[in-house]
Amino acid sequence: MRDFICLNCGQRLSFENSLCLNCQSPLGFWLESRSIQVLDDKGRAEVDGVLLERCVNTKVAQCNWLVKWTGNPELCQSCELTRTRPGDDDPEALVVFGQAETAKRRLVLELTELGLPIENRDENPTTGLAFDLLSSAQRNVITGHASGVITLDLAEGDDVHREQMRVELDEPYRTVLGHFRHEIGHYYQLVLITDNRRPQFEELFGNPDDDYQAALDRHYKEGAPEGWRKNYVSSYATMHPAEDFAETFAHYLHIRDTLDTAAAFAMAPSGTTLDSVPPGDVGFDRIIDEWLPLTWALNQINRSMGHPDLYPFVLPAPVLEKIRFVHNLVAPVG
């Protein structure tokens, strides 16, 4: 994540800011230039001759992104991917919905910066990307992915519920952004694992056509196999090849975004930003050379504050090879 500043007064900003707390200027994020713009008294900004205004979801989704001004209400590139949300008669769920949309915007920005393709359901009605963000308080909602549709139980936005689930499932890490990154991994398995890439996928992860329900039942009955940490990034990754890939893809996104942020604040070399890492193995080796010492330092800082490790994972050689495979999918040579 980049280091943003207010173009009116120079105050440092967060990606989520819709208002500069120093000069009180209204703000909006413009995806095409990856910048936060100051809005005029009509709520508009002009960038490279293009007139912009806020996404129509400013209130309901807590959205601070900008869209091209057309004279009609428009959704930004992130909000237009949401297919289903809580109704206006469920104010508690709407609050959490806005928080989930904030995490989704961070996801969409990273995918865009990595140059990953995003097709919505209008462009591809069969497997295009869409999000159903619903609360299990009023219906049965299961977080997951099916043919491009990502469903998130908004109860994951509740800190108490999420922590209870993390402890119950013996997970070292559980966040809304983490859920999005995992589920988007399933989407990109559909998009990126073409026939010519499938042999290497199967060599590293296994056969994605293995019976999923049988694997799910086995995992929740027997748990992860003994010694799983030697070959998998998480116990959940042991369940099925598709879950192994999704977990690996999520960790690749964790690594790239965190390194990008560290570079923005001079905690990592400038050559580790999302737009500067070389493609192929050379780029991946550089990522890992910087990632391992960075996470060691960040984990020690967290411990100094009495918090759990920021990145509570070990990356043995087989896991690194899986992440390398993802990097070469995202940033292929030639």
At 156 the pLDDT is 67
pLDDT tens digits, 174-211: 789 999 999 999 999 999 999 999 999 999 999 999 99
Q: What is the dihedral of CA 221, 244, 250, 189, to 10 degrees?
A: -120
- Number of helices (H), then strands (E), belonging to the chain: the values are 8, 11
- HEC states along 281-299? HHHHHHHHHHHHHHHHHHH
3-state secondary structure of 305: coil
Beta carbons of 108 and 90 less than 8 angstroms apart: no
pLDDT tens digits, 85-127: 998 888 888 999 999 999 999 999 999 999 999 999 999 999 9
Percentage of the chain with pLDDT > 70? 94
At 164 the pLDDT is 60
In 3D space, the residue among 233, 244, 323, 245 whose CA is nearest the CA of residue 287 turns out to be 323
At 171 the pLDDT is 62
Range 17-25 contact pairs with CB under 8 angstroms and sequence separation of 24 or more: 17/64, 18/58, 18/62, 18/64
At 203 the pLDDT is 97
CA 316 – CA 288 distance, rounded (Å) = 12
pLDDT tens digits, 208-227: 999 999 999 999 899 999 99
At 161, the pLDDT band (50, 70, 90 cuts) reads low
**Distance between the two ends of the chain, CA-based, in angstroms?**
26
3-state secondary structure of 251: helix
CA 68 – CA 147 distance, rounded (Å) = 30
At 130 the pLDDT is 97
Nearest 5°: phi and psi at 51? Answer: -85, 130
Q: Residue 244 to residues 87, 106, 189: CA-CA distances in angstroms?
A: 34, 23, 11
Q: Give the pairing type, strands 35-38 and 27-30.
A: antiparallel
At 167 the pLDDT is 47
Q: What is the pTM assigned to this prediction?
A: 0.93
Q: Which residues of 127-143 are buried (b: 16+ CB within 10 A; e: fewer)?
A: ebbbbbbbbeeeeebeb
Containing 84, the helix (H) or strand (E) segment is strand 82-84
pLDDT tens digits, 246-258: 999 999 999 999 9
Average pLDDT over residues 132-150: 89
CA 64 – CA 45 distance, rounded (Å) = 13
CA 33 – CA 70 distance, rounded (Å) = 19
Beta carbons of 235 and 225 less than 8 angstroms apart: no
CA 160 – CA 152 distance, rounded (Å) = 17
pLDDT tens digits, 257-283: 999 999 999 999 988 999 899 999 999
Query: Tokens representing 165?
Result: 């689930």
- Mean pLDDT value across the chain: 92
